[in-house]
Amino acid sequence: MKFGIDMPPQLRVYAAFFVYSFCMGSIFPRLPDIQRAMGVAEGALGLALIGAAVGTLISLTFAGGLIEKIGHRRALLTALPLLAVFYALAVWAPSPLTLFLLLLPVGLTIGVIEVIVNLEADRVEHAIGRRIMNRAHGFWSIGFFSAGLIGSLIAQTGLSPQLHLLIMVPVIFIGTAVIMGRFEPAEHRTGGSTDEGPRFARPTLAILVLVCVTMAAVMMEGAGIDWSAIYMRDVFQSEPFLAGFAVALGAGAQALMRFLADGFVERSNPVSVARILLGVLGVGALMVFFANAPWMALVGFALMGCGTSAIFPLAMSAAAQRTDRPAAVNVAALAQISFVGFLLGPPLLGFVAEHFGIRWAFGIGLPLVVVSLFAAGALSPKFKAKLA
């Protein structure tokens, strides 16, 4: 029995990204409250947050076959509400070790959803003959922005993270039923191989250079998600709303730029766009690092969101266009290594924040921006013939 709203396939993809990130983003404005309740420093909290990263990496490696057996529709309609349930359970953790363990199933579920929604976006692109991947990730950022904004408002009321995340369970369940109830997976790409690829795609030297292009963006995006709320609380003693709003602001600026990025790339070239965005990212990180007023930090977080918006998609396109190996292998190699940096790097910044101050969770990204600026030439079509 089908239920929910009927809509075109591309809108269904956008809706899936939105619901997924809205569920995922609800916990991050509450991290200051979770940290305070456990009575731990940033290093211990960062170590606990790695639980989601570990679960996601395991799931991304092994979930493909399981999803095919269960079916994409059944897996997605089950995984979205389950993600809300697992988050609601995780925030009851009394200690970092318990939080780590409770975030493992969160990560396993995230990996399943990541595989389904990105594969669906790729198949719908092929079916309708129009690119939608960047816009789909823009809707991911809008969902994260919405969750951050609502979460900051709820935090300001004094409602506990436990009750907040519990309320999210029926919200996500109903949202999934109404928006995704008529979801049917798109057909496989015609002419593509259906053989299962290697679980780990070996990176070539050219792919490692592209990893350098993305590393500043993925690290600083994750740092903003994990640590911006705690930064605002510790540096400026901000109210819960303003602390949570820092998380939302970065995601909102990222969403806006993702909707505009394709036009910039078409009018210019990938190297120029990447270097401009990396420059914006660097300015934003500098503002956060040296901020002496809340408004300055918030502007910095917004600039960081803009700067991180399109670097990874540009690098993915460059990897896909290389001719030394099948495009799918190069894309997988870049995605796997960059995703490790996105998942594991920012939580580990908690140790930096604990020993050197929360500002250094963002200041440490500045050398990475310099490295990415130098490596950005790898996005040029001329680079495809080199480092084969």
* CATH number reported for the structural domain that contains residue 347 in this entry: 1.20.1250.20
Decide if pLDDT at 381 tops 80: no
pLDDT digits (tens, 9 = 90+) for 124-183: 888 888 778 778 888 999 999 999 999 999 999 999 999 999 999 999 999 999 988 888
Share of the chain above pLDDT 70, in %: 92
Contact indicator for 33, 161 with CB cutoff of 8 Å: yes
Stronger pLDDT, 318 or 164, i.e. the higher one: 164
Q: Is residue 94 part of a domain?
A: yes
Decide if pLDDT at 316 tops 90: no
- Do 111 and 251 reside in the same domain of the chain? no
Q: How confident is the model at residue 190 (pLDDT cuts 50, 70, 90)?
A: low
How many separate domains does the chain show?
Answer: 2
- Do 210 and 171 reside in the same domain of the chain? no
Q: Is residue 351 part of a domain?
A: yes
Q: Is residue 313 part of a domain?
A: yes
- Do 377 and 289 reside in the same domain of the chain? yes
Query: b/e for 142-165, b at 16 or more Cβ within 10 A?
Result: bbbbbbbbbbbbbbbeeeebbebb
Q: Is residue 195 part of a domain?
A: no
For all residues of the chain together, what is the average pLDDT?
Answer: 87
Question: pTM of the entire structure?
Answer: 0.85
Q: Residue 199 has what pLDDT?
A: 60
Residue with the two structure tokens 């997924």: 20
Q: Is residue 1 part of a domain?
A: no
Q: Is residue 304 part of a domain?
A: yes
- Do 125 and 86 reside in the same domain of the chain? yes
- Do 122 and 149 reside in the same domain of the chain? yes
User: What mean pLDDT comes out for the span 219-237?
Assistant: 93
Q: Is residue 59 part of a domain?
A: yes
Decide if pLDDT at 27 tops 70: yes
- Cα-to-chain-centroid distance, residue 209: 21
Decide if pLDDT at 96 tops 60: yes
Q: How many whole angstroms separate alpha carbon 226 and alpha carbon 245?
A: 13
Across 113-117, 231-235, 251-255, 312-316, least confident range: 312-316
Q: Is residue 358 part of a domain?
A: yes
Which residue, 183, 217, 234, sits at the end of a domain? 183
380 token code pair: 């040029």
Q: How confident is the model at residue 315 (pLDDT cuts 50, 70, 90)?
A: confident
User: What mean pLDDT comes out for the span 277-292?
Assistant: 96
- Do 262 and 204 reside in the same domain of the chain? yes
- Do 31 and 172 reside in the same domain of the chain? yes
Which residue, 132, 148, 183, sits at the end of a domain? 183
Show the domain range for 241: 200-388
Q: How many whole angstroms separate alpha carbon 83 and alpha carbon 102?
A: 12
